[in-house]
């Protein structure tokens, strides 16, 4: 084929115009694109060679070489991958084959500003070379063709390109960029190395550059800008060295990766010194293909509770680094997870905006969420050592299983202590996984001081006739434990979950039931123990309510500014009174929290419940101090649940008056 000049497809010309005019603010990406093409070409060769090993010719080691020539002002990326035939060069480097990109170009409005925002969302690939080059020369020879079937492709990136046949012994492709005057700094080893390690460290092929040495490199002045070397500069040595780590651990088979290597990689990407608690590594196939390598850290970061904090997932597309902190890949409540997602389907130039909308990304996020939950379920399952009938663990487990069980025991507890509060945010954020999340929750309870009671454990221990899972929220464990609302439950031996995380109140709004059993706050609504109460107790309660009617009316009147209602209760045993809120009202604790956080909270007037059996309550009627006693009763109930009287000084005065 003699030299011929061909026109670019209209869309290519349009794309080229855009690339050169709107991507100059992020010039360096061209190298990522070209290295990625070179790496793809090697992948393709490897694939075709599966059935035709002759394609390797005499160069079985696939590699990418990057070289530059300062004098000629060129930068060249060479690969020994599949290469291109003449027709392929014309087709692939003159048209846009991918329908997505074609579609995209056809949508371009011609309005440069709007278009330049769009372009960030699509892979511009080979053509990005024109960001830094005013001329590109491609020389290539397809694997399997003869040396005489090489092709040279040259273009200035305007309307057309030239192709001609050349002799080329080497298989594969070299792309030579004739650098623009404002891009000459890309003809420098440190600049190029920096970009490669930023974007392409995890390309599994070696990316080689020729080693340089200082010519007559003795130190003359250590503080000058050349590092104290002769200005004679660097000279090439003829030795090539790999400049990328070529270590895409996630792309390797699980069985070839040691535990230490997994841990080491975690430390590298998380900048954490401690080994992770667990990891999950999977290749997901199907309509969206990706690999995930996700870790759960051992320790929570300082800013765990900052929901604005960046996520810990790095996004790669075909082993090329795209971005850090890809928050779209993981829900906010799993923001502590660190790791890598490598997608085969997203375009290299994917932007954060596109990530938010992409269907592939949505599928990836769902897949990652499921995996993390699965990993947590595993940890939870192995948190406690298995118990044999007689507690003889050794007999039921093989030595290997026993070691594994011991290695995993306690991990979930550790996880939960660090991240449990954040996990709970998921109840309100991720409805689809609510049931799985609910099973992962752990609480302290009236029978367990440690945060270790799961809802399923609780259910399994429920008393005959018990119809609800009872819980109480409070600021501290001590306040929860000693809360007057718990008295009747203690008396009857009914377990109550004690919730002391700030997020509990909010999260519980989203969890009305667990596995068919309603969740019931013991501080909300009238206490209804249902079948747990016997007939005699019910009758006594009704009678008390009747005889106390006049007293209740008086109390109500005295406390009308503070209490929504006053009623007799059966929930108290030792305390004279307690406060509860209406069934669907905001708890006093949540209202208090909102106020502390400076947010507006609706004024909640609680209900005062009094214990008809308590001597103080019995003494109320007819007391000359009725008014003061009524207020003391109310304020003490508030104090007992960790609140503060609205007017503490008045409270103190009243108590003192009585004491005197």
Residues that bind ligand ADP (CB under 6 A): 37-38, 41, 79, 81-84, 92-93, 98, 123, 125-127, 173
Nearest to 450 by CA among 494, 426, 481: 481
In sequence order, what are the residues at sequence separation of 6 or more whose Cβ sits closer than 8 angstroms to the Cβ of residue 596? none
Altogether, the residues listed in the chain come to a count of 660
Residue 159: partners with Cβ closer than 8 Å, 6 or more residues away: 7, 8, 13
Report how far residue 452's alpha carbon sits from residue 653's, in angstroms, rounded to the nearest whole number.
43
3-state secondary structure of 160: strand
- 140 or 433: CB nearest ligand ADP: 140
Q: How far apart are CA 252 and CA 270, in angstroms?
A: 20
CB of 212 to ligand ADP, least distance (A): 25
- In the bound state with ligand ADP, the residue whose beta carbon lies nearer, of 288 and 570, is 288
- Report whether 614 contacts 575 (CB < 8 A): yes
* Residues 6+ away with beta carbon under 8 Å from 366: 432
Nearer to ligand ADP, 123 or 331 (CB): 123
DSSP states of 542-554 as a string? HHHHHHTHHHHHH
- The residue (of 125 and 576) whose beta carbon lies closer to ligand ADP is 125
CB atoms within 10 A of CB 224: 11
Nearer to ligand ADP, 206 or 301 (CB): 206
Tell me the residue nearest to ligand ADP as measured from the CB.
Answer: 125
- Cβ proximity of 76 and 175 under 8 Å: yes
Nearer Cβ to ligand ADP (202/502): 202
Give me the least distance between CB of 313 and ligand ADP, in Å please.
23
Query: Which residue number, 347 or 454, has a Cβ lying nearer to ligand ADP?
Result: 347
| CB half-sphere exposure, 473, CA atoms < 13 A | 23
Nearer to ligand ADP, 175 or 503 (CB): 175
Closest separation in Å from C-beta 144 to ligand ADP:
13
Shortest CB 125 distance to ligand ADP, Å: 2
Is the Cβ–Cβ distance between 230 and 217 less than 8 Å? yes
- Contact between 208 and 240 under an 8 Å Cβ cutoff? The reply is yes
CB atoms within 10 A of CB 134: 16
CB of 173 to ligand ADP, least distance (A): 4
Least Å distance between CB 245 and ligand ADP? 21
Angle between helices 549-558 and 535-547 (to 10 degrees): 60
Residue pointed to by tokens 């769902």? 366
- Nearest distance, CB of residue 257 and ligand ADP, angstroms: 29
Write down the least CB distance from residue 58 to ligand ADP, Å: 19
Q: How far is the CB of 343 from ligand ADP (least distance, A)?
A: 14
Q: Which is nearer to ligand ADP, 98 or 625 (CB)?
A: 98
Instruction: Give whichever of 16 and 329 is closer to ligand ADP, judged by the CB atom.
Output: 16
Give the ranges where 382-486 is alpha helix by DSSP (H).
393-396, 399-408, 411-429, 434-440, 455-460, 477-481
Least distance from ligand ADP to the Cβ atom of residue 244, Å? 17
């Amino acid at each position: 084929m003699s030299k011929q000049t061909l026109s670019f497809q209209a869309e290519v010309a349009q794309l080229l115009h855009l690339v050169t005019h709107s991507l100059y603010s992020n010039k360096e990406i061209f190298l990522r694109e070209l290295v990625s093409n070179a790496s793809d070409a090697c992948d393709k060769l490897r694939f075709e060679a599966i059935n035709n090993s002759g394609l390797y010719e005499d160069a079985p080691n696939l590699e990418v070489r990057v070289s530059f020539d300062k004098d000629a002002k060129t930068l060249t990326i060479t690969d020994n991958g599949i290469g291109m035939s003449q027709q392929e060069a014309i087709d692939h480097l003159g048209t846009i084959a991918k329908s997505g990109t074609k579609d995209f170009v056809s949508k371009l409005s011609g309005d440069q500003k709007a278009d330049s925002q769009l372009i960030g969302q699509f892979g511009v690939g080979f053509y990005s070379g024109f960001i830094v080059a005013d001329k590109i020369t491609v020389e290539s020879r397809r694997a399997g063709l003869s040396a005489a079937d090489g092709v040279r492709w040259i273009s200035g990136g305007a309307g057309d390109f030239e192709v001609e046949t050349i002799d080329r012994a080497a298989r594969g492709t070299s792309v030579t960029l004739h650098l623009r005057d404002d891009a000459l700094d890309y003809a420098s080893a440190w600049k190029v190395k920096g970009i490669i390690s930023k974007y392409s460290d995890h390309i599994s092929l070696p990316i080689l550059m020729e080693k340089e040495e200082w010519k007559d490199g003795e130190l003359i002045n250590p503080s000058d800008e050349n590092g104290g070397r002769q200005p004679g500069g660097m000279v090439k040595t003829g030795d090539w060295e790999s400049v990328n780590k070529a270590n895409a651990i996630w792309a390797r088979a699980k069985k070839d990766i040691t535990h230490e290597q997994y841990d080491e990689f975690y430390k590298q990407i998380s900048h954490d010194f401690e080994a992770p608690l667990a990891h999950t590594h999977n290749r997901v196939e199907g309509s969206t293909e990706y690999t995930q390598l996700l870790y759960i850290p051992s320790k929570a970061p300082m800013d765990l509770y900052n929901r604005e904090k960046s996520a810990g997932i790095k996004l790669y597309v075909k082993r090329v680094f795209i971005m850090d902190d890809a928050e779209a890949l993981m829900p906010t409540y799993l923001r502590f997870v660190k790791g890598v997602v490598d997608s085969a389907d997203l375009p290299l130039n994917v932007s954060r905006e596109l990530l938010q909308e992409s269907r592939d990304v949505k599928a990836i996020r769902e897949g990652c969420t499921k995996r993390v939950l699965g990993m947590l379920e595993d940890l939870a399952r192995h948190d406690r050592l298995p118990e044999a009938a007689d507690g003889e663990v050794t007999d039921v487990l093989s030595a290997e299983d026993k070691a594994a069980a011991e290695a995993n025991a306690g991990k979930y507890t550790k996880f939960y202590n660090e991240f449990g509060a954040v996990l709970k945010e998921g109840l309100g954020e991720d409805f689809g996984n609510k049931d799985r999340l609910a099973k992962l929750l752990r609480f302290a309870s009236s029978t367990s001081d440690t945060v270790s009671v799961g809802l399923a454990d609780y259910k399994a221990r429920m008393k005959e006739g018990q119809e609800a899972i009872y819980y109480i929220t409070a600021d501290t464990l001590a306040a929860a434990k000693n809360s007057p609302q718990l008295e009747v439950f203690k008396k009857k031996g009914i377990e109550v979950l004690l919730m002391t995380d700030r997020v509990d109140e909010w999260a519980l709004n989203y969890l009305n039931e667990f596995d068919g059993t309603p969740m019931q706050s013991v501080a909300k609504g009238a206490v209804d123990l249902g079948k747990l109460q016997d007939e005699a107790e019910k009758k006594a309660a009704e009678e008390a309510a009747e005889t106390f009617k006049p007293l209740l009316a008086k109390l109500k009147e005295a406390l009308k500014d503070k209490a929504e209602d006053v009623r007799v209760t059966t929930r108290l045993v030792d305390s004279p009174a307690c406060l509860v809120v209406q069934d669907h009202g905001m708890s006093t604790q949540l209202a208090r929290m909102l106020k502390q956080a400076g947010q507006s909270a609706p004024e909640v007037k609680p209900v005062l419940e009094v214990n008809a059996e308590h001597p103080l309550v019995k003494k109320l009627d007819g007391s000359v101090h009725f008014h003061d006693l009524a207020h003391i009763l109310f304020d003490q109930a508030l104090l007992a649940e960790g609140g503060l009287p609205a007017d503490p000084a008045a409270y103190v005065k009243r108590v003192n008056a009585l004491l005197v």
